[in-house]
Structure 1
Amino acid sequence: MNMRKSWILSLAVLFVFSSVLVACGGGSNAGKEKTLIYGRGADSTMLDPAVVTDGESFLVTENIFNGLLGFEKDSMELTPALAESWEELDDGKTWTFKLREGVKFHDGNDFNADAVVFNFERWAKQEYLPSDKDAFIYYASMFGGYEGEDGHIIESVTAKDEYTVEFKLKEPQGPFLANLAMSPFGIASPEAVKEDPKKFAENPVGTGPFKFENWKKGDTVTVVKNEEYWEEGLPKLDKVIFQSIPDNSARLTALQSGDIDIMDGLNPNDADTVTSNDQLQLYERPPMNVGYLAFNTEKEPFDNKKVRQALNHAVNKEGLIKSLYAGKAEPAANPMPPSIWGFNEEVEGYEYDLEKAKKLLKEAGYEDGFEVVFHAMPVPRPYMPDGKKAAEFMQADFEKIGVKTKIVSPEWSTYLEETNQGEHDMALLGWTGDNGDPDNFLYVLLDKDNARIPANNIAFYKNNKLHDILIKAQRETDQDVRTELYQEAQEIIHKDAPWVPLVYGTPTLAAQSYVEGYAPHPKGSDKLKEVDISQ
């Protein structure tokens, strides 16, 4: 090669290398695309928030959609969102919302009152579902069923003008505003839904800070900055990639090596590893959850209350917490956490007592025990870092009272489907509160209304007295009166023992030191619009 050609080649290489440095920021943020990779324990099941019930789906959809109302970034205080203001009339039976003007859906269509009406009518009438197997489970759980059912609380939703919408309720509903702020009630583009509901569940269109880009199932969901987002200066990131890494330890390794920027599902005993590394920062999500073991009360032997009480006595919650939670949990007595108002402190959890458990089994006619299939979660959840190990821990104690269990752990979407269809004998699950109201735990998870398939009440527990109390509490707007009713409800549930309430967990998360503005939200799904990267 002659000197002239060599010099030209060297110059070309230098130019390319310099261009790469400029494109990557060259040690500064100038011209650099800000991409955040969020490591999580499982993939989403679907991306239509009205259809799903799992936190992994809401983690993504929370950033694609807005509801009429929202919550503060680190608390359950209500804030305006797509509705700028609202007014209560007729003793809580009529609500008028003034909508934000100039907002567009990600497909370019206008957000307006007609879009709000379409969404609520879609949910109430069970229209435009992705498939025949799906249902708007949350809608029925929060608003008393679907249109035409006796308990359905919403009488009508009407567009009074282009940016005013009116809700008429059959009766006042105490948690109504808090319900509207929940993740499932993000307002979707009517045109996108009507074009193809199944496609919409995989390619969602909302008004949120990020727009959907792609979904590589089992691997990543990618969202990109909505350049026309209505909150000025937000979002700060250009792209967020939600990366599925099922194993907690592998996820921490990915964080330590710089492959991801934030991780949830940190093993509690790895917290010290994070705090001792000056390149990382530790977070604790404000606790608003319960992990539980649900008995399918429609199947033998769990249709017998004494059997359910016996298994409550056979669970060593303190030992479970010591083994799996490294002190980041407390034993549960009620099916709602103490961070929620209305918690009944007078209810004492079933003490760990194997002799008492054996006695109850004998009284129930199962002196020699029985065999049962035990569903254990295949993925880490905020209330349970390792479902399989938790099941194995309880399996050992159950065997001491003659109850033999076969642990099964199908993949996450199958697990959710089998439990909400009632195919299980007993199953581990849990709940992170959606709106800070006791109704969201007690009515949603344990009322007979929500034992309809697909069920949020996977114990399929039905108690008419409890139902009457919970409906009365819903229709009441005085919080003191509601508190008394919910405390009575917790006493009934404790005696009937459809669950073993296991733990109230304090989930731990970790991030790179350069991540700024991240605030884990109590409800478990975080808006990332204010998150930034400083490097």
Structure 2
Amino acid sequence: MNTKNKTFKWLLISLLAISMFLVGCSSKSNEKTGGKSANGSQSKKDTLVYGRGGDSTSLDPITTTEGEAFKVTENIFETLVEYGDQDTTINPGLAEKWEVSEDGLTYTFHLRKGVKFHDGTDFNADAVVFNFNRWMNGNDEKFPYYSMFGGYKNDEGHVIKEVKAVDEHTVQFVLKRPQAPFLKNLAMSPFGIASPSAVEKYGDDFRSHPVGTGPFKFVEWKQNDTITLEKNPDYWKEGLPKLNKIIFRVIPENTARLNALANGEIDVMDGLNNSDEETVKSNPNLQVIERPSMNVGYIGLTTTRKPLDNKLVRQAINHAVDKKAIIDAFYGGKAEAAVNPMPPSIEGYNDAIEDYPYDLEKAKALLKEAGYENGFEIDLWAMPVARPYMPEAQKVAEVIQESLSKIGIKAKIQSVDWATYLEKATKGEFDMFMLGWTGDNGDADNFLYTLLDKDSIGSNNYTHYSNDELHEVLIAAQTETDQAKRNELYKKAQEIIKEDAPWVPLVHSTPLLAASKDVVNYLPHPTGSEALTKVEFK
């Protein structure tokens, strides 16, 4: 080849390389920030980057109890019935309609036809039966949320007698006793229907390879960094989802997350500090989003560990915590002091119960009566991540530590990574610990039974508190179909819990999120988990 031809060849190669580089840059620009379309117009952004404080612990929703998992899985899986966009009313989901027998023991669901899992297999009645058989044959350690149905298949309190496929698109649940919140339970994030083929293929590793029927499909999980989902092109809801891709990105510090939002690195963030609300409002490129409140933040007092096994000690600690000071310092008026383990917005709330007043002398007297006049040393575990009910847990822990020191209790603040934190709390390995709960279904049962009944030890009852009288009241409330009678039972339950004091209920908050101004149709749900199906950019 002569020199002229060689020069011409290298010129062509150089031009091709430059053009490929420019195409790559253009593609990246279009994905995150929008770019020019073929006709020269500005294309709309179609990738949402969601900044959050912690990583998910699992992407198989039935295997966990924490909200960072559900935040993602709500977009991958669907349930038989689903909540309203911003409330807990029951609406059709994978089931188009259903009937309930007069005795409340038989539920017949008529399923949508033509729906497929992300792996191309059919959603049908057999798939529903497969999922429930999988869950009910498990245990608290494998499938903690299934305890909502009174335990597991061989447990005495198990509510479900049988789940059977009547035909390809009809599935029937037969119960042993009525369960008033049954439909609301079915709509909860943990009960998303998974592909039986994928579950069988991946086994326990399905936690990292989720396959559902939802608006988005799983692409990739980089631990403690990002989870990427992409649009399900075969989604059964016509015209949805609006986005092409969602990237959930972990940024542990609230302030760092806000800086990333202001710099355009992310589009939405949760865990906005109340103290930063005005900063966001003053930025013309950002917006504040309020999540409807349905939560409680609390200090758990593990009742199986000394000296917290003494009710008088637990009552003393309740008297020693200045809730008003905590709310004034960290919630900017977006919270109210918690008296009971459930928020006042939930039907059956007992507003006749008076809180333990902040009274250091009373606290000291109770400690003396319990035999701890000189106080004691104890660990206080603080969450390592921002949660909707407690955006600044470490700072709140310091205030609590100072309060307890005034009655002779020397609390050592401890923490550990989020997954380990939940694991240790579940096993009852903490003394005092900070946690909270965002309601799953808007029913009192989901707070009182789920968090404090003896059936829930090993799942969501982290204090390992057990009271037989409370258990009888809560089971009666589950079985009762007359709502007025249920409410009275729940009020009685709250009286028992107040006396036994397994918690220091701290706060019911209005969680804040922030987003770039061009994000529209973001509808935050009171459960803390929303499908981003309708979200788009202006």
Q: TM-score surpassing 0.5?
A: yes
Where does residue 310 of structure 2 map in the other structure? 304
Q: 2:103 aligns to what SS in structure 1?
A: helix
- Kindly tell me: are residues 30 and 155 of structure 1, through their superposed partners in 2, closer, same or farther at Cα, counting changes over 3 Å? farther
Structure 2 residue aligned with 1:37: 49
**Distance change (3 Å), C-alpha of 1:380 and 1:48:** same
Cα distance change on mapping 1:212 and 1:10 into 2, 3 Å: closer
Letter matched to residue 136 of structure 1: F
Deviations 1:298-342 (A, max 9, x none): 111111111000000000000011111111111000000011111
Matched with 1:137 is 144
- Residue type matched to 2:35 in 1? G
The match for 2:97 among 85, 99, 107 is: 85
2:245 to 235, 239, 246: 239
Shift of 1:159: 0.2
Distance 2:251 2:21 in 1: 33
Q: Are 1:475 and 2:487 counterparts?
A: no
The size of the alignment, in residue pairs, is: 525
Q: Which of 423, 426, 430 matches 1:424?
A: 430
Residue of structure 2 in register with 1:109 after alignment: 121
Structure-2 residue corresponding to 1:130: none
Unpaired runs of at least 5, structure 2:
none
Q: Deviation of residue 197 (structure 1)?
A: 2.0
Which secondary structure does the structure 2 equivalent of 1:377 belong to?
A: coil
More displaced, 26-35 or 40-49?
A: 26-35
**Greater mean deviation of Cα atoms: 460-469 or 435-444:** 460-469
CA contact (8 A) 1:22 1:31 kept: no
- 1:270 is aligned to 2:276: yes
1:12-31 aligned within 5 A: 19=23, 23=27, 24=30, 25-27=34-36
Task: Say if 2:531 is the partner of 1:527.
Answer: yes
Please tell me whether residue 514 in structure 1 is matched to residue 518 in structure 2. Answer: yes
What's the secondary structure of 2:115's corresponding residue? Answer: coil
Q: Is the 8 A contact 1:48 1:200 kept in 2?
A: yes
Q: Secondary structure of the residue that 1:92 maps to in structure 2?
A: coil
In the other structure, the counterpart of 1:333 is: 339
Alpha carbon RMSD of aligned pairs, Å? 2.0
1:166-223 Cα shifts (integer Å, max 9, x gaps): 0000011100000000000000001111112222101100000000000000000000
Please point out which of 67, 72, 79 is paired with 1:60: 72
Which residue, out of 254, 277, 280, partners 2:260? Answer: 254
State the Cα distance separating 1:26 from its structure 2 match.
3.3
Q: Secondary structure at the match of 1:146?
A: coil
Per-residue deviation, 1:96: 0.1
Rounded to whole Å, the distance in 2 between the matches of 1:117 and 1:124 is: 11
Q: Tell me what 2:84 maps to.
A: 72
Q: CA deviation at 1:400?
A: 0.7
2:196: which partner in 1?
A: 190
1:125 aligns with 2:137: yes
**Structure 2 Cα separation of the partners of residues 22 and 252 of structure 1:** 27
Structure 2 CA distance for aligned equivalents of residues 231 and 257 of structure 1: 34
The DSSP-based 3-state class of the residue aligned with 2:108 is strand
Q: Which amino acid aligns with 2:99?
A: E
SS in structure 2 of the partner of residue 36 of structure 1: strand
Residue in structure 1 matching 2:289, options 254, 262, 283: 283
SS at match of 2:62: coil
| Distance (whole Å) between structure 2 residues aligned to residue 176 and residue 14 of structure 1 | 61
Map of 1:378 onto structure 2:
384
Give, in whole Å, the separation in 2 of the partners of 1:385 and 1:359.
33
Is the CA contact 2:292–2:524 (under 8 Å) kept in the aligned structure 1? yes
CA distance in 1, matches of 2:219, 2:18: 34
Q: 2 CA distance for matches of 1:107 and 1:429?
A: 37
Aligned-pair identity (%): 58
1-structure distance, mates of 2:18, 2:316: 75
Tell me the alpha carbon deviations over residues 255-307 of structure 1, each in whole angstroms, 9 at most, x when there is no partner.
00000000000001100011111101111100000000011111111111110
Aligned pair partner of 1:460 in 464, 467, 471: 464
Shift of the alpha carbon at 1:148? 1.1
Partners in 1 of 2:102 and 2:508 — Cα distance? 39
